[in-house]
Structures are given as C-alpha cells and as structure tokens.
Amino acid sequence: MEWRSAKLNKNNIDENLDEIKDEHTNKTSECSENQCECDSKEKETTFEPVDVKKIKEENEKLKKEVEELKEKQLRISAEYDNYRKRTIKEKQDVYLNAYEDVLKEMFEVLDNLERALSCDSNLEDLRKGIEMTVKQFNTSLEKLEVEEIDTNGEFDPNYHNAVMHEENDSVGANQIVEVFLKGYKKGEKVLRYSMVKVAN
C-alpha cells in the first residue's frame, strides 16, 4: 500500500513537472516574440544621422530666393508708382490740350467783340460787326464739332429742358413752341440742354 501511494505521488510529480515545463516553454516563446517586437520598434524609431552641411546649403538657397523676391517687389512698386505719376501727368496734359483748342477759337471771337465796342460807328455798322462775330463764333463751334440741338418738332427730355407749358390748339401734342436758350451737344454728349416752352 505504501509502495502504491509512493508511485502515485511520483506520477503526480511527473505531471506537475510536465506542466511547469510547458508553462516555461510558453513564457519563453512569448518573451522571444516580445523581444522581436521590441527590437523592431527600436529599429523603426532609429533616427538617421543629420546632414548639417546640406541643411545649411538649403537655408542659404532659401535666403537667396527671399532676397530676390524682395528686390522684385521693390522694383514692381517703383514701376507702379512711376506709372501712376505718368498717368496723372498725361491726364493733365489731355485736359490742358482740350482747353487750349477751345480757347484758341474763342480768342478771335473775343477780339472782334472788343473791336466792335471800341469803334465809333452807327448802329447799322455795329449790327453788321456783331453778326460777323456771331458767324465766326458758330464757325469756331463747327471746328470743335459742337452742334446746336434741334428744337423743331416734339419735346425730347434727352436734349430739351421744358421750363414752361401752354395749351395751344394750333399745334400737336408735346410740341416745342418757343426756345428761350439754345442747347449744344458734341456727338451724343449734351453740353447744354435747350430751354424751351412746350404745348399740350
């Protein structure tokens, strides 16, 4: 009986030893797998050596590009400023030239009016002088391509300014019956509206 009990204990011990061996083997396997994972992680996080010379060269290149862009911007700003000043001067010149063309035509008319006022003559001669001056004035307007606005026919708000209205059975509706002040235009631009009286 004792012998049998000792044999059972030996079997239990052998089984326990086998379990311990298996457990040890599993743990060893797990440790080696973890070690492999750790090794691979270490390899992944390894930094490459820094090339300082290359970084310095790239930095110098970028600095050079920035300087070139600054110079380009300054040049463009200066060119724009010159263009703006030149445009302002050109506008002033155009305006002055337009004035010059008009005033040259007016000076001759003014000269004739002053001559008419300064001469000692009768009313008939004065009238003729004024008629000649008016004719010359109209010629000057033609040279400047300025024309009188037509006031024959119907009222047109684009060219006429109605300051009076009357009922008149002898004319049609919306007809101009009297002109108080002549109007003038250059092309399609109205320089002065005709001041008129409109009927019906």
From 113, 129, 144, the end of a domain falls on 144
CATH number, domain of 195, equals 2.30.22.10
**Owning domain of residue 99:** 54-144
The pLDDT score that the predictor gives to residue 180 is: 94
Q: 144 and 189 in contact (C-beta within 8 Å)?
A: no
The pLDDT score that the predictor gives to residue 3 is: 40
84 & 101 share domain: yes
Which amino acid, 27?
Answer: K
Question: Which residue's structure tokens are 């400023």?
Answer: 81
User: For 49-82, what is each residue's pLDDT tens digit?
Assistant: 778 888 989 999 999 999 999 999 999 999 999 9
184 & 130 share domain: no
Q: Is residue 42 part of a domain?
A: no
Higher-confidence position of 30 and 159: 159
From 97, 124, 144, the end of a domain falls on 144
Q: Is residue 24 part of a domain?
A: no
Q: What's the pTM?
A: 0.51
**Number of domains the chain contains:** 2
Long-range pairs, 42-47, Cβ under 8 A, ≥24: none
User: For 121-143, what is each residue's pLDDT tens digit?
Assistant: 677 878 888 888 888 888 888 88
Q: Is residue 131 part of a domain?
A: yes
